[in-house]
Structure 1
């Protein structure tokens, strides 16, 4: 999980990593959903061109669909060409999360884990070609990470992301890397596909993933896979530690507790 806020977080997230290639935009439903997700990514309001590029939808089509989403109140236009969440989408989000038994169970599990390890805990799931933080439970230490709910994370450079990638076939992994690449977030980021394959083999063997300051210098994370009701990996639970407060060895000692928390969420997300 990302720890200290980075420059990527202030930019428009790329839910599908499509980079504006219309051939990957999908059918009408895919386009509308991708545009909706791109428009409400952290840092909104976002301009038409940025939303279209992130969703992989041609600008003309994006403009028409976004106007429809504004007309139906799923999105709101700021009057200067920017888009963000509308009242209908906000109400829908509230209905999904407010009083949701699954959400309460997941948060309770993460709160227990956070108390046990004394650090910030996150739950994230795959959203397109990235991961998104669904729940954050801040730790008690005075130095806090700047991660936030809704933050999009690169799959190859975070513990939660590596958990997601560990559930892919090699063909799926190769295709994903072909779409989004392996950008260097820090000097420690894995940027070679073969090296990433080796890393994912390690994740599968040990049941947890490590982010060794690969997404942000000064933050080390350990994550374990979260699976849906069918057993497919859809996300992960992670503990984030500031490197000068907690050693790598201390982080590794929490691996079994993180795995246990992740297993407790099995099937709760679908």
Structure 2
């Protein structure tokens, strides 16, 4: 898994979709939380793919309940109530998976370890164990991740039905994050087949230059991918073969991961 940028995947093809009031509200909350604010009303509306008038009404409601904050000058940020809820969720998740991820970080040569869960057509970091190296990943808890070009993302997609993979791509797109990014659907399907055969995914500078990651998905009891765990390295310090050598430890770590965080979903 790479260190994602603070601006996560934009949604496409949803501007004309009616959606329910709850769906629109959730997309607006996601738009507020995608990066540090405050955000202009027009930017929130565009990212949530809703009309500006709808965004204004929903934001007024969220601000009244403390989930958003009207910062003045037509800008909105995350409210204290939403921040507190997010912190509580992260705390509970960390208590459950923290020890397992710390063990993996040690077994993986002290490199950075991430845990993320799928949220719609992207994934979101819920936990990070920093590297003990003299360098660090720019990623942080709350970052959104593309699914088509990250190790966790491809591991998740590999466990989805073909039509659902295509629906994610139709919604989110496949932007070229680096020259190595897979940007066409047939190539992605071939890559996901390889992921299923190996049992883990590789992001070989596909999301960010000089960053190479190994990722595996964790599944719920029905076999659905709920998220994944990754080991992140930099190419100038860790060779590809060395990273691949951590695959057994990664696969062992994700084996019981869904059970650890299921109560928080």
Give the TM-score normalised by structure 1: 0.91
SS in 2 for 1:78: strand
**2:54 aligned with 1:61:** yes
Match of residue 262 from structure 1: 254
Match of residue 139 from structure 2: 147
Match of residue 16 from structure 2: 22
Paired residues of 2:9 and 2:145 also in contact (CA < 8 A):
no
Distance 1:148 1:43 in 2: 12
Match of residue 31 from structure 2: 38
Following superposition, the deviation at residue 163 of structure 1 comes to: 1.1
What do the CA deviations read for 1:114-138 (whole angstroms, capped 9, x no partner)?
1111100000111121111110100
Pick from 110, 113, 133: which aligns with 2:104? 113
Match of residue 95 from structure 2: 104
Change (3 A) 1:97 1:125: closer
Q: After alignment, is 217-226 or 259-268 more displaced?
A: 259-268
**2:232 aligned with 1:226:** no
Following superposition, the deviation at residue 42 of structure 1 comes to: 1.6
Match of residue 2 from structure 2: 2
Runs (5+) with no aligned partner, structure 1: none
Match of residue 116 from structure 2: 124
Distance 1:68 1:128 in 2: 23
Paired residues of 1:228 and 1:268 also in contact (CA < 8 A):
no
Following superposition, the deviation at residue 199 of structure 1 comes to: 0.3
Following superposition, the deviation at residue 206 of structure 1 comes to: 1.0
Change (3 A) 1:222 1:207: same
Match of residue 237 from structure 1: 229
Match of residue 157 from structure 2: 165
Compare relative contact order (CA 8 Å, sep 6+) and give the higher one, 1 or 2.
2
Match of residue 136 from structure 1: 128
Change (3 A) 1:211 1:130: same
What do the CA deviations read for 1:181-214 (whole angstroms, capped 9, x no partner)?
2110001000111010000001111110000000
Paired residues of 1:185 and 1:214 also in contact (CA < 8 A):
yes
Change (3 A) 1:77 1:178: same
Following superposition, the deviation at residue 34 of structure 1 comes to: 1.1
RMSD of Structure 2 on Structure 1 (CA): 1.6
Give the TM-score normalised by structure 2: 0.93
SS in 2 for 1:70: helix
SS in 1 for 2:88: helix
Match of residue 74 from structure 1: 67
Change (3 A) 1:143 1:97: closer
Distance 1:48 1:14 in 2: 18
Paired residues of 2:68 and 2:77 also in contact (CA < 8 A):
yes
